[in-house]
Amino acid sequence: MAGRGHHNERQAIRFGRRDLRAALRRLSPEDLTEVFKFRYLPIAWQPGREFWVAADGLGEGRARALGRPVIGRVPPGEITAALEAVFGRALVEEPSWDLAQSMPRFSAFHRLTPAQAGVLGLVGLALAAACYLAPGMACLTLAFIAAVFFLAVIGLRLFAIFPPSGRADWPPESLTRAELPVYTVLVPLYRETNGLRRLIASLEAIRYPREKLDIKLILEESDTYMRRAVARLALKPPFEVLTVPFHGPRTKPKALNYGLAFARGDLVTIFDAEDIPEPRQLLYAARLFAAAPPEVVCLQAHLTFYNPGENWLTRGIMAQTPQLFGCRELV
């Protein structure tokens, strides 16, 4: 142990990196699931006994509920850093290649199957022959196909204007502070230093119990400027900074999958760097989920823009937003 101090009402214990990593490598898959979500782990052993440390009250409460003695607390970021060091590479490789290896027919890794390539080749030959033998008719046919596709898109937009049939209207459940679930907020960031302080301010303004909030800033290992900018903020809980190990291709879904492995919440939402969430949004969503039937797994928030009148482009985007993302507004 490197030293001792005090963390809230519990004794803070500082272990070396090797101690934490060695403890993680000894765990069963079931215990690892617990560690990722609740941030507590066994750190010392005696014949027939284990002694546990936790990062915060959430982990300590979970450990004690399972009858696992907690001897102290580890600074919050140290368990996360150890998890990233031991399992980070595997966590980023699995979403990139696991589907292509385990179920290749559901993966887009191979763009075309041999059968699809053969069909496209035949269509291309037929089109080339038609253009050569009857260019006028071929052009009319292609124009007709394009018009049908365009009208289908317009029809879909018009159909979206109408309210959904059979839509259930659940009155939000009244929840006490103790009944509110832990809420994870995933925020993938890449080369977005200019709006960082505004983003952090908007996340700080969220009206949700701090001990029930779990905010993950997900950075890329190769994004040096973003990592430095976030480090200068010296963020404290409920913020947690995750760094996705470099492994191509670099995509937002891969970063979110990585962050999801560390999520501690029963509910999860995603905000982008340009988002300014309504402060009561998570609180209202939690109340709606509590009232909704079990088969409801996702809620779409009402989207709006802070600059709809800036130019013709922002006006056009705002005009189509209610049709694409319409839902009940926060009240």
Asked, for residue 11, whether it belongs to a domain, the answer is yes
Asked, for residue 38, whether it belongs to a domain, the answer is yes
Ramachandran angles phi, psi of 64, nearest 5°: -70, -35
What does the H/E/C string look like for 254-272?
HHHHHHHHCCCCCEEEECC
Same-domain pairing of 59 and 123? no
The answer to whether residue 166 scores a pLDDT higher than 60 is no
What's the mean per-residue pLDDT of the chain? 86
3-state secondary structure of 25: helix
Asked, for residue 324, whether it belongs to a domain, the answer is no
User: Which residues form the domain of 128?
Assistant: 119-161
pLDDT for residue 11: 57
Asked, for residue 62, whether it belongs to a domain, the answer is yes
Domain count, the chain: 3
* Higher per-residue confidence, 5 vs 316: 316
| Verdict on whether the full-model pTM lies above 0.85 | no
pLDDT for residue 62: 93
* Higher per-residue confidence, 111 vs 205: 205
Distance CA 97, CA 117 (A): 23
Same-domain pairing of 194 and 282? yes
Q: What is the DSSP letter of 110?
A: S
The region of weakest confidence among 71-75, 163-167, 185-189, 228-232 is 163-167
Asked, for residue 133, whether it belongs to a domain, the answer is yes
pLDDT in tens, 100-110: 777 877 777 77
CB 187 within 8 A of CB 217: yes
The listed range with the strongest mean pLDDT (37-51, 116-130, 154-168, 258-272) is: 258-272
* Higher per-residue confidence, 140 vs 12: 140
The answer to whether residue 9 scores a pLDDT higher than 50 is no
Same-domain pairing of 11 and 72? yes
Q: What are the b/e assignments for 229-241, b being 16+ CB within 10 Å?
A: bbeeeebeebbbb
| CATH number of the domain that residue 10 is part of | 3.30.300
- Using pLDDT thresholds of 50, 70 and 90, give the confidence band for residue 198: very high
Pairing status of strand 213-220 against strand 239-244: parallel
| Contact residues for 81 (Cβ-Cβ < 8 A; gap 6+) | 17
Domain closes at, from 27, 55, 82 = 82
Stretch 64-93: mean pLDDT: 90
Ramachandran angles phi, psi of 86, nearest 5°: -85, -40
pLDDT for residue 265: 95
CB 219 within 8 A of CB 243: yes
pLDDT in tens, 29-61: 888 999 999 999 999 888 888 899 999 999 999
Same-domain pairing of 157 and 188? no
pLDDT for residue 219: 97
Q: Where are the alpha helices (DSSP H) in 103-195?
A: 114-133, 135-161
Domain closes at, from 82, 108, 143 = 82
Distance CA 299, CA 290 (A): 12
Distance of CA 77 to the CA centre of its chain: 19
Same-domain pairing of 135 and 195? no
CB 266 within 8 A of CB 242: no
The answer to whether residue 69 scores a pLDDT higher than 60 is yes
pLDDT for residue 84: 95
The listed range with the strongest mean pLDDT (30-34, 99-103, 130-134, 184-188) is: 184-188
Same-domain pairing of 218 and 281? yes
Asked, for residue 15, whether it belongs to a domain, the answer is yes
Stretch 23-27: mean pLDDT: 92
* Higher per-residue confidence, 47 vs 164: 47
Pairing status of strand 183-188 against strand 267-270: parallel
Asked, for residue 105, whether it belongs to a domain, the answer is no
Domain closes at, from 82, 110, 136 = 82
The answer to whether residue 259 scores a pLDDT higher than 70 is yes
Angle CA 130–132–137, to nearest 5:
50
pLDDT for residue 313: 83
